[in-house]
Structures are given as structure tokens and as C-alpha cells.
Structure 1
């Protein structure tokens, strides 16, 4: 990066570390498959931390668990609308769906009953399940966003039941090893930072405990490094390394609920936090455990991401810092658009579908994308737009926008030329209300005419 960019990033990092009195703070900026910048302030064992120094990442663990659940969904082992009882019967939460657990909309209490779980040795699943009486529900399911660490303890058990192994064993085999994330572990492995509490009125430290959280571990157990989280940031931006399909990650990023009303700036998807900042749609997750704070945030549009790790219980604005680092990079060295290249060997039958189509009197344009995908969008740029993925039966499935999940069918004339599109019962014709297309309700036989009669 340019020296001026690096200086601006370092200045922001150094200011945060000094003002928040962080024992150590390390950050990095990622774009595409490269770590563009990384710097650290403070000390770990008397030395500056490095990209290989482990920190506890707290609730970022939830995103890893969510990826395991979505892999099970993509394999057909579960449906997001399945009630918990289908996979883990016998709990007081059995009516809640997998999607509600992933998105914190099940109405479950935020913390597990009993001792302060972040600072106490965790019990096994049987003990956690037995502690979840009917009183564990604080809100009507689906009514609102209510962050629940308990919900991810439950999802960890879902993974364990369906995989026949512990959630971390599944994570290591299915995600960490394929991505080369060898320094993401449930317990610290040297070199690692110690967790500290900073006295509010004096520059002194108090060591924090780091117990094993037992059945609650899927909510915040993991330790990781800058190097490993840089790879994780790439996955969240869409470079999934075949661990998940990029469309599944995009689905996870979409907010299922928002925190702050109509002009939302923060929400939650399926295991990922969603943010709007300075006109950008960002995604990632923050984390905190006694002695540690962490954040990962990415802009999928530019594949630029930032991550921050600190060993302090409170006070370090790690998510704000990450967003500010992104903003500085965008201002100083904005990402270049992908280079345009012509499509190789387009299918003539698909080329014949492109161009104008009309939903009633409204003009749309159908564009051909690589791999036989289609993009249908209003000609004036305003309204319902969706991309469509080809299916083996000759139809297309909507991926986003109003028509997400809906089926697009092409109906042809006897000579094979396209006659009309049928999209979730809406008819798109080559001309406005084309009388040659089967328009429901028919087409006025007087046709288009001037004036009102």
C-alpha cells in the first residue's frame, strides 16, 4: 500500500490502543486474497504481537458454527424451517426453528442459567439442556431480535448429532483444514496473548480466566490469529474455497432482523452481523470474552475486509476500528473494478432470450451472465430485479430480490423462438401486453388507442 495509506491506518490503530489503554492491539486489512496491511501496538510477553499470535475471538465462533449448520442445510441433512425437536428432541425449545436459532429470533434468554458462563467451567449438553426450562423463553419466537448465546450452544449440539462428532471436530475437518486455518483452536496454543482487565482508574492489569465453556463453547470458545482470520474474512466476502457455495454465504449475510428500526444500521443474518456504514453494506461479527475483544468485517462488493484483536475485557472499540480502517482504505486506495472480458462460447439459445421483455406496460431487460445465469431487471433501473440460476430441468431459480426462490420458465413458439416468460405466474412478453402471449384476463381486442372514450 502507499506510505500515506499505511500511515493513516497506523495512526488510527495507535490512537485506539493508546486511548483505550489496550495491553495489545493488532489489526489487518484484507482485499481479495491478499493481506494488504497489518500492524500491532502494545506488548504480549514483552514483544509486539505478530500475525501468528493467538487471541480469543469470542462470538466470532458463532459464525463458524453457522457455516457448519449451513453446510448441513446444503447437503439436505436439515432444513432451516425444521423445528429443533426434529434433530435434538426433548428440550424446552423444541418448537423453535433452526433459522430462528441462527438469527437470534427464537426469543431465548441471552445467557445460560446458573453461573456466569464466560467465567466458569462449562458443563456438558445434558446439564445445559436440563437447565433450559420454559423460563428460558423471554419473547415470542420470531417477534424480535434478542441475542442469545444459549441458542448457539444448542446449534453446536445440532451439529454434533448430525455429524456424529463434536462440533469442533466437525469444524476442523470441514472448514479449518480445507481453508488452511491451522491456528484456530478451542484452547490457546503458544504464542498467545493473556487476557487482561484494565483498572478503570489506574494503569494496572488483572488477569482474566479462560475456562472451557463446555456445551456453551459454540457461543464463544475459539482462539485464532490474524493470519487465520484473514482467510475467514475472505470467506465472508465470497472466496469460500468450496467450504460453502458463495450464494450460501450471501444468504447468511442478509439481515433476518434489524436492531434499530426503519433507518437500520445494524442487523443480524444467519450467523453473521450486518451493518450499513457510509453507504456500504458490510458483514462480519464481533466477539468478546473476559480479557479479549475481536472483530471481523468485510465489504463483499469490493472484497475489502478488516479485522482487529485485543486482549482487554472492555474499552477497545474493535468493530468501530475495523470499520474505520475499511473507510480509510476506500478513501486512499479504492478497489478497482474487475476487468471486463467477453463471454466465452455463449449459447445461441440463451442469447436469443436477451433484450427487452414487458411486464404489462413496464419494460424490463434480460441480460445473459456467465454459466447460463440470467439477470432480469427494470429498464429504468428501479423496481424488482433478480438474478436467476439455471436448473437441470430447463428452468431458472431466483437468487435475490423480490423473486428469490421463485421459478422462471421460458415458453416457446413451435419454431423454438421464445414467446413469453412465466415468472411466479407473472407473464413477460416481447411487447407491452402482447396479444400473442397468454396474458391472464386477456388483452383488449381494441388494442392501444389514444384518448379516453
Structure 2
């Protein structure tokens, strides 16, 4: 990394620590799956924390719980459409009818918080049962009607993991996720060296220590502690997956929007346990987190191959989400990654080459290109219109991966003599010539020569 980039990154951390009035702030940048920069500032000169210092990461914990749930889904032990009450019958009819996917995406309609007292500042022993985190009136909105962030929803997901695995969710996390990724400094309770959490007076330069609570049933919503070095590994995982933990395709699924943004935050959104945002024209995925005495944020830009994180040990003050996003942008803008060299694809099926080239839906022109040997890409010639990428299925058709045609089937229709007639994409007929009179609707046009 260039010296000028390093200075800009450290300057952003320094500004965040000073203006945010936090005892310390750690920042780190990940590029192409590895930690490439870290820096920190502290109120005590010469005692700045390093990448092995633990901070409480709050709701970043939810991304870890979501991975455990998606592992269960990929193993066939549950479906995202399953009502959570199928495994947790003690929830009762109303809460039990909410689906696993709705809980992951915060579209279940569950309350944002538990009944009082506030779970973040009180011992978990006050809420020994799941009913204690829900209360008598837990559902605030019709399920699926809107995005409504719910901490108790992730308490239910943690309990779901425990029910299906037969071990505490933290034990499952250690065995199935943290150890395979080499994240040995991510724990349920702090292990030295760990930063102390503080509340800083809003109107005076005075601070006081915050107590650390073990949150019991609510732990899946925000219990974890971690380090910049470990979270760098987590950023790499959220960008690319890990075959020993969760397949890249499943991690990509988690990053896809599953909940609409709120009107008050049009650039926001939520996937499956993953927070989404747009900043400076970039699509970012990750999560922010807060617990008394601590703030955390982690973002990845898959397109740039860059991730960044920020950790602070104060209850409020620095906008760590903005700090992490700025660290990412500084890196990506100052030192943009090199694209992979173009190389010819592996031997391509001649039948696929027969499909490549221009096609017309009515009078609208499209180009169909063969990518990566067996993937197809449909794009409008004039830059306007619906396009998509398609992956091949076992029956010789293709399924859309994005946009309007996501999930739709593309198939090549041939004449009795085997020659290519047209493409059928969810009843949209694409022909080699505009309004080909020999094709089905929207072909059948009498012909341009008659005009």
C-alpha cells in the first residue's frame, strides 16, 4: 500500500477518535481476502490497541448466528419458509408462525427489544425462557409487511440452532465456524487483552466505565467479542465464503436484499442476517453493532475486493459505520484493484456459440454472450431494457440469476430439423430478426417488406 494511502487511512482513524471522543479506535482494511492495513489511536499516547485487542462487537454477532442458520438450511435440516415454531413449539401460535427467513431478514414484525428492563444492561438470568424475551405482545407488525429490526428475533434463531444441534449456540459457532476460519480470538466473554468499555459524558470531557453483562438468551443478538485481526478474516468470509464453512453461493444469497429499505434510510437494506447499504455509489454488505461501552462496524465491497472495519470502546460518539465505509473508499479509490487478465474460456459447446450474438424482443435489440464456458449474459444493446446472467441447469435450460429475470427459465427452441428458431424466456420470445414472422408472439408480424 502506498505511503499516501496509509497516511490517509490513519488520518481517518485519528479524526474518528478525536471528533468521536472515544478512548480508542481501531481500523483495518482487507483486500483480496487478507489484512493489508491496520491503525489505531488512543487517549493514552504510546498505548494504542493493536489488531489482537478484543472489543465487544454487538450486533455484528447476528452475522455469525445467520451463518449457523444457513448451514442448517444447506444441510436440509430446515427451510427458510419453515415456521420457527416447528422446532420451538413453546413459542405459541403467534410467534411460532413466523418463518426462519423472516427472522433473518427482520421482516417478522417482532418487537425491536425485549420487555423491560433493557436486556443490554441487565443479567441474562432475568430472561431464562424464550417467553421472557418476547413478552405478552411480541408481534408489532404483520409478518412480511415491512423491515422492523428485532433483537429478540435473533434470540429465537440462536435457540433454533441449539435445538437442532443439541449444543449451546456458542459451542456450535466455535466448532463449525470460528475454528475452521482461524478466528480463535472471537469469544462470548472477553479474554485479555481486551478493551474496557466507557460512557463519555455528552457535554463534558469526562468518562465512566460501563459494566459488562452476560446476556443469556439474548446473547445471539450481540454478545460476541472479537479483534481487528479476526474480523478481517470475517470480512474475507462475507465477501467470498469458505467451502469448509458456507459455500460462496450461500454467502452471496445472504448478501442479496431480503427486506426493503425504510423510508427514513433509502440507501439501507437487509439481506439474510447481513446489513446492506450504499455509500458513494458502492454497494456494501456487513453490519454495525453497539453494546454499552462499545461500537463496531464492518463493510465489504465485493466489486472492489475490499473490506474495512472500525472498533471503538465507547457507548456513543464516533460514527464507526462511516469510519469503516470511509476506510474502504479511501483504499478502493486511491489504489483500485487490477482486473483479472482476460483469458479465453475453456472449450465451449458449439451449441452455446450458436446462441451467442444479437437477438430481438419485438424491436428491442439484445446481445447474448457466453461467459465462463456455460454461463450466459443477456444485455440490451442500447443500454436500456432488462438483462440478466443465467446459469445452466441439468436439463439444458438456463435460470436467471439477477434482475427482472431472476429465477426465470431461458430455453432455446429448435425447429424439427434441429436449427435454432428462437429463445423463450418466461414466454418472452427473442428472435434473430425484429418481429420474425416465423416465430411465435411477438413474432408473427406480417413482415417489413409489406410496409
Q: Does TM-score exceed 0.5, indicating one fold?
A: yes
Tell me how far apart the structure 1 counterparts of residues 198 and 264 of structure 2 sit (CA, whole Å). 38
- Structure 2 counterpart of 1:266, from 265, 268, 292: 268
Contact 1:9 1:325 in 2 (8 A): yes
For 1:243, the equivalent position in structure 2 comes to: 245
Query: Residue in 1 aligned with 2:5?
Result: 5
Structure 1 residue 248 displacement after superposition: 2.5
2:43 is aligned with 1:20: no
Q: Number of aligned pairs? A: 449
Deviation of 1:45 (Å): 12
Cα pair distance change 1:72/1:422, threshold 3 Å: farther
Which of these residues, 180, 204, 207, is aligned with residue 205 of structure 1? Answer: 207
Distance 1:296-1:441 versus aligned 2 partners, 3 A rule: closer
Equivalence map 1:5-84=2 (5 Å): 5-42=5-42, 47-84=47-84
Provide, for residues 223-282 of structure 1, a one-character-per-residue CA deviation record: whole Å limited to 9, x for no partner: 111111111111222254453233322322233334443982112221111111111111
Alpha-carbon distance change, 79 to 435 in structure 1, aligned in 2, over 3 angstroms:
farther
Q: Which moved more, 1:137-146 or 1:313-322?
A: 137-146
Cα distance in 2, alignment partners of residues 45 and 221 from structure 1: 30
**Alpha-carbon distance in structure 2 between the residues aligned to 1:323 and 1:296:** 8
When the two structures are superposed, what TM-score results if normalisation uses the length of structure 2? 0.93
The aligned residue for residue 379 of structure 1 is: 381
Select the residue among 87, 107, 110 that pairs with 2:109: 107
Unaligned runs of 5+ in 2: none
RMSD over aligned CA atoms reads 2.3
Which digits, 9 at most, give the CA deviation of each residue in 1:180-229, with x for residues without a partner? 21211111122111111123344333221222211111100111111111
CA spacing shift, 1:273–1:312, aligned 2, 3 Å = same
Whole-angstrom CA distance in 2 between matches of 1:12 and 1:381: 38
Match of 1:165 in 2: 167
Partner of 2:444: 443
- Distance in 1, matches of 2:264 and 2:320, equals 26
Q: What is the CA-CA distance between 1:48 and the residue it aligns to?
A: 1.9
| Matched residue, 2:309 | 307
Alpha-carbon deviations, 1:77-107, whole Å to 9, x = none? 2222222222322314122122211111111
Q: How does 1:121-132 map to 2 (within 5 A)?
A: 121-123=123-125, 127-130=129-132, 132=134
Hey, what's the Cα distance between the residues in 1 that align with 2:343 and 2:241? 20
Q: CA deviation at 1:132?
A: 2.5
SS in 2 for 1:90: helix
Residue number in structure 2 paired with 1:297: 299
Q: C-alpha separation between the residues in 1 aligned to 2:334 and 2:442? A: 57
1:226 to 221, 225, 228: 228
Q: Residue 310 of structure 1: CA displacement?
A: 0.9
